[in-house]
Structure 1
């Protein structure tokens, strides 16, 4: 039996050093973007009232993991509202309209995992 090994490049990043970019109307740190076409990892740190505008990823699934704070997400064509808080994870299938907003008086921090990570989101 022949086993082929691929050499992988491990990356370790101090998230505090990642530049904040304005994406979909909100501040996002693109921690691992453009490294692999299989996954994109970003963190959003939203002040009260901030968030990401409604958007879709036509061919990519997304997972939100709430690290800190509270807010709301709106999911689907009917924009159904869900309350989110630290420790909660959401799976959003490809092609699903979604947005997130910090509706609290403190910061909202959310980790975003998008796979595959090659396509840019489409704002709707």
Structure 2
């Protein structure tokens, strides 16, 4: 059986990267906003992650395209870690492999994906792709 490969456009890949980073960033900003209500200041946050307060302010405003390392530092400064899971694309979305993606076929057949944290298989419950969770 021959599999035809359809390349994913650069534009689509860039949009996906922005969506992944944006999801993490929104959760960080939301949690920081809630913590401010309890007296946690931007100055304390900056000190906790050894970052200049002005630099932190610019990052929290979204003035920069944040790298994963910075997002990780921000999450850690909020006593959280970033969890990432791979979830198959929706069945009606365009796939890069036709007629059937080997990954989609395996998930359809078994309804499961490997859970990277435990090395075991996790149920495909279509949960959130990325979560910033408290440690």
**More helix as a share of residues:** 2
Q: How does the TM-score come out when normalised to structure 1?
A: 0.28
**More strand as a share of residues:** 1
Q: How does the TM-score come out when normalised to structure 2?
A: 0.26
